[in-house]
Amino acid sequence: MSLKITIADIANELNTTPATVSRALNDHPSISVKRKEIVREAAERLQYKRNKIASSLRLGQSGIIGVIIPSAEINFFGSVVHGIESIANKSGYNILIYQSNESSEHEAKGIETFLSARVDGIMVSIAKDTKEYSHFIAAKKSNIPIVFFDRANINLGINSVLIDDYKGAFIATQHLIEQGYKRIAHISGPSHLKIFNDRLQGYIGALKENNINVDGELIFQGDVSVEAGRSGIQHFLKLSNPPDALFAVEDFTALGAIKELKDNNISIPNDFGVIGFANEKFGEHITPTLSTIDQQTVQMGKESFLLLMQLMNDGQTNVAIDKNVILDPIPIFRNSSMRNLK
Amino acid sequence: MSLKITIADIANELNTTPATVSRALNDHPSISVKRKEIVREAAERLQYKRNKIASSLRLGQSGIIGVIIPSAEINFFGSVVHGIESIANKSGYNILIYQSNESSEHEAKGIETFLSARVDGIMVSIAKDTKEYSHFIAAKKSNIPIVFFDRANINLGINSVLIDDYKGAFIATQHLIEQGYKRIAHISGPSHLKIFNDRLQGYIGALKENNINVDGELIFQGDVSVEAGRSGIQHFLKLSNPPDALFAVEDFTALGAIKELKDNNISIPNDFGVIGFANEKFGEHITPTLSTIDQQTVQMGKESFLLLMQLMNDGQTNVAIDKNVILDPIPIFRNSSMRNLK
DNA sequence: GTGAAAGCGCTAACAA
DNA sequence: TTGTTAGCGCTTTCAC
């Protein structure tokens, strides 16, 4: 049972004081080079590990960033966390993870936990069922830097990193138009969520820009799911004047649509073009390969952390900063919509 | 700039002492119910948040579990983390994430960081390129509970939670035999990693059990990648007596194999059966749907945490515990190997 | 260039 | 049932 070595132990060993040892280990300029070496050698020899808790208490900062995600099981968020971690580590920060499981309550508890843990900053992607934002307001009041990523509420005065959903949807729809499809449908997501509404608007915007009539019949209220994709297509095929292309709100929705189209022996992309959104991994492995819009997940993680860093630094100088990062969506055109290639 | 409220502030407010406030907030039995209420009310009113850092320093435990994974971007690990977090949270623990990026150095730095952060326990899935284990030995020496999951080194006397790769491979191979395939091939993974070697042995074991000759020609040294799957099939098809089925070391390998088989107009599963390992999400969406072996990722996370909890408790009572959890792989038979269904 | 001493905020003996 | 006191391990001001 090796007891933990402290700087006092080292000081003892070297007949000096904790203060000197502390300074030496922190590379303080007023300590002689020789002494620094001696101290470091002793620390090494005694297997000293700095007690970061004590250090944090004294310094008033923990070196920890709290990240709230809906679920680590969702690829997208794992990828963002990867982005965050990859650069946070280099800056000497560590990442505390909290899952909201799409629940507002858990989310609030996560904030609470982080505040208590005295994290130096918080990053959040808002839970789907969060409609009440007092926990964020509370966090803001206690002056802790906080950044939203991917899912934000822009009315709280909290900075955010998002991708441009409107633009992504616009590009996707424009692409279908350019491929010569004439009646382009959309399966949308839950409309109370901004990201999904933005995609709907992007779809509409592209149609208008091309002087194409927006037909309400061609907009199916769906969800992020294979089933919604199937239902949407079932609905569309019943129309007297059915569509010949689909911009789906998400890749899984697009996948369901493709399955249903295949079941109806409709040829993709010849008779029907499909494009999704998210760039899920399966997209390049299904037949036909799925056209989609990439959301730059890793980049999003990095940008979020950088923004948080700015907030943390500026917080010290009391300079308010208002910066929202909008990432460009990246179109990935594959076989499901590339009619010209066939 | 609202300064942080401390228990001293509350004590002041109520004309009592920090000790009493602390006890009240911690629901200490010797404090009267009335006073507890008063204290809690004041804490609420003043927006007090317990400083967990100070508490940790005093108590000598942080309530934090350190988790080292190769990458948060890999689905598998996100899923395990989900499992860990879902139950750790309920037990009042938080999760500090560290990515090794498959590098031994980063891994060692992660251990270092965790030791310094005084985490209460560590969970690790070993990086691919780790061949030197001194950082784990160091961790063990400093008496911190530590658990390996998925990727372990069983020679370090560190407890682990694994799935039974041998059994999974055995089941997969047995299944192909039962489907009437006669010459069953295997594309293996890097042989220095135990999990891949176990799968190879499981494959061999099943053949022997069924009195089938193990043909070295039918074992292709590959990797976890689409390319390895393609190369493997290319190799096999050149044989004078090619195989009619494949157990691939991983789903992506199986995917590559399927692509190559399709390119060669070989009908799956009629003329060639394929089964993978891992139950990646894309498996149920490709054509044909992919048979595979599920690794119980979420369950693995939960079991790992439970094991760690045991170690943490037993550490206090100085009872050594030696327990390794082996999870059962779950076969998922889909179209790529279900000849009888067609 | 180094030491003495105080204190970050909390909890737990011990005392009353 | 509550208060007094000490101390977790570190950093930093002030003094020398």
Distance from C-alpha of B123 to C-alpha of B111, rounded to nearest angstrom: 10
| CA–CA separation, A173 and A245 (whole Å) | 9
Q: CA distances (Å), B153 to each of B55, B112, B128, B188, B278, in order?
A: 35, 19, 12, 20, 20
Is the distance from CB of B10 to CB of B48 less than 8 angstroms? yes
CA distance B136 to chain A (A): 14
Residue pLDDT tens, chain A, 342 long: 346 899 999 999 999 999 999 999 999 998 989 999 999 999 999 999 999 999 999 999 999 999 999 999 999 999 999 999 999 999 999 999 999 999 999 999 999 999 999 999 999 999 988 889 999 999 988 889 999 999 998 889 899 999 999 999 999 999 999 999 999 999 999 887 889 999 999 999 999 999 999 999 999 999 899 999 999 999 999 999 999 999 999 999 999 999 999 999 999 999 999 999 999 988 999 989 999 999 999 999 999 999 999 999 876 555 567 789 999 999 999 999 998 654
The Cα A57–Cα B168 span in angstroms is 49
Share of chain B above pLDDT 90, in %: 85
Cβ neighbours of B150 (radius 10 Å): 24
Mutate to test the interface with B, among A3, A49, A102, A260 (most CBs of B within 10 A): A49
More confident residue, B317 or A169: A169
The answer to whether B117 contacts A50, with C-beta atoms less than 8 Å apart, is: no
What band does B1 get if pLDDT is binned at 50, 70 and 90? very low
pLDDT of residue A98: 97
Q: Which whole number is the average pLDDT over B123-147?
A: 92
**pLDDT at residue B194, rounded to an integer:** 87
Under DSSP, is residue B246 helix (H, G, I), strand (E, B) or coil?
A: strand
Contact residues, chain B, for A282 at CB < 8 Å: 281-282, 285-286
Q: In sequence order, what E strands does B144-222 have?
A: 146-149, 159-163, 184-188, 219-221
Task: Identify the DSSP state of B328.
Answer: P
Residue nearest to nucleotide D11 (CA to C1'): A58
In which band, very low, low, confident or very high, does the pLDDT at B319 lie, cut at 50, 70 and 90? low
Residue A4, CB, strand C, below 7 Å: no
Nearest CA to the C1' of C5 belongs to which residue? A19
- The structure tokens listed for B68 are 């080292």
Q: Which residues of A touch B98 (CB under 8 A)?
A: 85, 89, 94-95
Amino acid B12 CA to nucleotide C16 C1' distance, rounded Å: 21
From A277, A273, A281, A258, select the one nearest A331 (Cα to Cα).
A277
Q: Which residue among A62, A94, A287 places its CB closest to the CB of B113?
A: A94
**Sign, CA torsion A65/A70/A72/A75:** negative
Indicate if the pLDDT at residue B317 is higher than 80: no
Whether A114 and A66 have beta carbons less than 8 Å apart is answered as yes
Give the pair of three-digit tokens for residue A241: 């004047």
Strand D reaches within 7 A of the A4 CB: yes
Q: Is the pLDDT of residue B314 over 90?
A: no
Q: Output the six-digit token pair for A206.
A: 């592209």
Nearest to B57 among A54, A75, A113 (CB): A54
pTM beyond 0.95: no
pLDDT of res. B341: 54
> Is the CB of residue B57 inside 7 Å of nucleic acid strand C?
yes
- b/e map A6-27, b = 16+ CB within 10 Å: bbebbbebbebeeebbbbbbee
Kindly list the distances between the CA atom of residue A337 and the CA atoms of A133, A223, A226, A268, in Å, as whole numbers in the listed order.
Answer: 40, 21, 18, 7
Please check whether strand D approaches the CB of A16 to within 7 Å: no
pLDDT recorded at residue A320: 62
pLDDT of the residue at A342: 46
Best mutation target, A82, A255, A258, A268, to test chain B (most B CBs within 10 A): A82
C-beta atoms of A99 and B86 within 8 A? yes
B55 touches strand C (CB under 7 A): yes
From chain B, the residues in CB contact with A117 under 8 A are 52-53, 94
Q: Does residue A16 reach within 7 angstroms of strand C, measured from its CB? A: yes
Minimum CA–C1' distance nucleotide for A10: D9
Asked if the Cβ of residue B341 lies within 7 A of any atom of strand D, the reply is no
Give, in order, the Cα–Cα distances in Å from A3 to each of A49, B62, B141, B147.
11, 17, 11, 21
Is there a contact between A285 and B281 if contact means CB atoms under 8 Å apart?
Answer: no
- Report the nearest residue to nucleotide C7, CA vs C1': A58
Q: Mean pLDDT over residues B300-329, rounded?
A: 85
- The rounded mean pLDDT for chain B is 93
Question: In this structure, are residues B250 and B150 in contact, taking their beta carbons and an 8 Å threshold?
Answer: no
Residue B247 has pLDDT above 70, yes or no: yes
Residue B316: the pLDDT is 55
Say yes or no for a CB contact (<8 Å) between B57 and A57.
yes
Neighbours of A320 (CB within 10 A): 8
